[in-house]
C-alpha cells in the first residue's frame, strides 16, 4: 500500500498544504485529498490523461485547485 504524502500546492495566488492519501481500489488507484478550508475530495487517473475528481458533480472546487492537486499527484507518482 502506498504511503500518504503532503505537497505544497499553488493556485490562484495562494499557497496551501495538501495531505494526500493513496488507496488501491478494484477500479484503480484513488487519492483522498485533504486541504484546510475545502471539503475532502477524491481523485483518480482519468480519460483526459491526468488526475481528476472521482465525482465532480459533488464538489464546487476551483478548477485551478484541481489542476494543482493533479500536478502534485503526478509529480509524486513520477518520483516513486
Instruction: Quote the pLDDT of residue 39.
Output: 95
Instruction: Quote the pLDDT of residue 2.
Output: 66
Instruction: Quote the pLDDT of residue 15.
Output: 96
Give the whole-angstrom CA distance, residue 66 versus residue 56: 10
Helices (H), 1-80: 63-79
Query: Which regions of the chain are under pLDDT 50?
Result: none
Give the whole-angstrom CA distance, residue 57 versus residue 77: 26
Whether pTM exceeds 0.85 = yes
Q: Which three cell numbers stand for residue 13?
A: 495566488
Instruction: Quote the pLDDT of residue 50.
Output: 94
Amino acid at each position: 500500500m502506498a504511503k500518504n504524502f503532503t505537497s505544497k500546492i499553488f493556485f490562484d495566488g495562494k499557497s496551501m498544504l495538501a495531505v494526500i492519501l493513496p488507496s488501491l481500489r478494484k477500479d484503480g488507484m484513488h487519492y483522498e485529498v485533504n486541504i484546510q478550508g475545502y471539503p475532502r475530495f477524491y481523485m483518480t487517473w482519468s480519460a483526459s490523461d491526468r488526475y481528476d475528481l472521482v465525482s465532480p458533480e459533488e464538489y464546487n472546487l476551483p478548477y485551478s485547485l484541481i489542476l494543482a492537486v493533479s500536478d502534485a499527484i503526478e509529480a509524486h507518482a513520477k518520483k516513486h
